[in-house]
Amino acid sequence: MTENKPNHYQRIGGEAGVRALVQRFYQVMDELPESYGIRKMHPDSLKSSEDKLFKFLSGWMGGPQLFVQEYGHPLLRQRHMPFTIGKEERNQWLMCMDIALRETVADEVLRQELTLAFVKVAEHMRNREG
């Protein structure tokens, strides 16, 4: 008999959990001087970026495919090609996400699983050396 294990979306708390993570992620990016490199890649208002990341993560974590429904296939690497993303930008993004995860996700195992997954995605977004 196959056991139905909750997915990341369910384990983070569904829509409210994903939204809290994304909101905190962009607050950290906006406030932390060390994240200036990636902050300047975004528009002055982070609302649109926040909305898109929320929709993407909802589906990526196993919840509703909100991003796909509105924008089509994520094509993450292609969508990020206009931006120069190297190790420094990857590390800044991961630093912001790590802080947001630690502050919004109580489940340590879930945090570790998401961190590993985010590292893979962030590395895949790199489009330049260094």
CATH code of the domain covering residue 47: 1.10.490.10
Q: What's the whole-number mean pLDDT along residues 59-66? A: 97
Determine, yes or no, domain membership for 3. Answer: no
Q: What's the whole-number mean pLDDT along residues 26-53? A: 96
Q: Which amino acid is at 119?
A: V
pLDDT at 1 over 60: no
Q: Which two tokens stand for residue 102?
A: 């630690």
Task: For residue 118, give its domain range.
Answer: 12-125
Determine, yes or no, domain membership for 105. Answer: yes
Determine, yes or no, domain membership for 85. Answer: yes
Determine, yes or no, domain membership for 77. Answer: yes
Determine, yes or no, domain membership for 111. Answer: yes
pLDDT at 50 over 60: yes
Let me know: does 11 contact 110? Beta carbons within 8 Å.
Answer: yes
Helix axes 87-104, 108-125, angle to 10 degrees: 160
Q: What's the whole-number mean pLDDT along residues 34-39? A: 96
Q: What angle (nearest 5°) sits at the alpha carbon of residue 85, between those of residues 81 and 91?
A: 145
Helices vs strands, H then E, count in the chain:
8, 0
**104-124 pLDDT per residue, tens:** 999 999 999 999 999 999 999
Query: How many structural domains does the chain have?
Result: 1
DSSP output for 95-117: HHHHHHHHHH---HHHHHHHHHH
Q: Which amino acid is at 100?
A: A
Determine, yes or no, domain membership for 96. Answer: yes
Determine, yes or no, domain membership for 6. Answer: no
Q: What's the whole-number mean pLDDT along residues 57-69? A: 97
pLDDT at 44 over 90: yes
Determine, yes or no, domain membership for 7. Answer: no
Residue percentage of the chain with pLDDT more than 90: 84
Closest by CA to 25, choosing from 104, 109, 82, 118, is: 104
Per-residue pLDDT at 77: 79
Q: What's the whole-number mean pLDDT along residues 24-40? A: 97
